[in-house]
Amino acid sequence: MEDIVPDLAICLIHNPENPEGLFPFLDALLPQADQVALEIIVVAAQPEHPALARLERAFPEIVILENSGGDHPAKARNHACRLATARYLSFWDENLRPQPGCLDALIHFLDETPEAGLAAPRIVDAQGMVLPSVRSAPTLATILCLHTPLGRLLAAAPAILARHLLTEQDHLRSFEPQWLLDTCLVIRREVMEEIGFLDEGFAAHYADADYCLRARQAGWHLHYLAEAVVLQTRTDFAPMPAKPSASDTPRLVGDCTRLLLKKWLRPAQMPA
């Protein structure tokens, strides 16, 4: 009998500071699977933790991998993707809760739109307010405004950041942005087969921005799907990146430099 290929791989990085955090995520996810066949792959720094042992007993369909990438999210996500067999691969934050019809809408849209390589849902807070999860492609100006004192001192900074966050865009309607955040991101397997995995040279930031740019340069379309809704349960979620700590600053500088150099060294002309 031929094996059934899953529709969607749910790839998660487990937060060790919240050992029980995956239980409410999976309790919300599985009833919303509808007709979508899932495989669930968790990358954990402490796979032997008693909470994860309980998780395996409660949800025997999940696979738990040891996180050999340390605190490099791109390495952890790539580890899960290499094991996944599904037609579509996805990254999720365990604080998200897919709402009714979300997974079905994402898979149906991608099945019906072969030029769409990546898709992301609308993320809302407990009050139903949209939490912007899409961006314009980062530029030197936006990076300087986001991560240096220019964000407070430059008169043009608010306008630059508004364009970057797409605040003028109607987020209750679907559209094609330049950058989908990896907070919740679905990727067609053919995209990964064509352009490869996330760039593990990014220590903590901007691997998703780089991946979206690479996909667009290969001719794939990115879609923000407003009718697919996900609830964010974190109360501290903010559209702007948090100010990095002193220990994180070198990684941030390295990631920003890597992103800009890769962007500038790519061919200037994007495919239509």
The H or E element spanning position 263 is helix 249-265
pTM for this one? 0.92
Q: Where are the domains of the chain?
A: 8-138+162-237
Identify the segments of the chain with pLDDT beneath 70.
Answer: 1-2, 237-247, 267-272
Q: State residue 272's pLDDT score.
A: 33
User: Distance between alpha carbon 71 and the CA centroid of its chain, in Å?
Assistant: 16
Q: State residue 271's pLDDT score.
A: 38
* Torsion sign across C-alpha atoms 156, 243, 74, 97: negative
Q: State residue 139's pLDDT score.
A: 93
Tally the C-alpha atoms within 13 A of residue 18's C-alpha that lie toward its C-beta: 12
Residue-wise pLDDT for 112-164, tens only, equals 999 999 999 999 999 999 998 999 999 999 999 999 888 888 999 999 999 99
The H or E element spanning position 209 is helix 207-217
Residue among 175, 191, 17, 14 at smallest CA distance from 88: 191
CATH code for the part of the protein at 8-138+162-237: 3.90.550.10
Q: State residue 269's pLDDT score.
A: 42
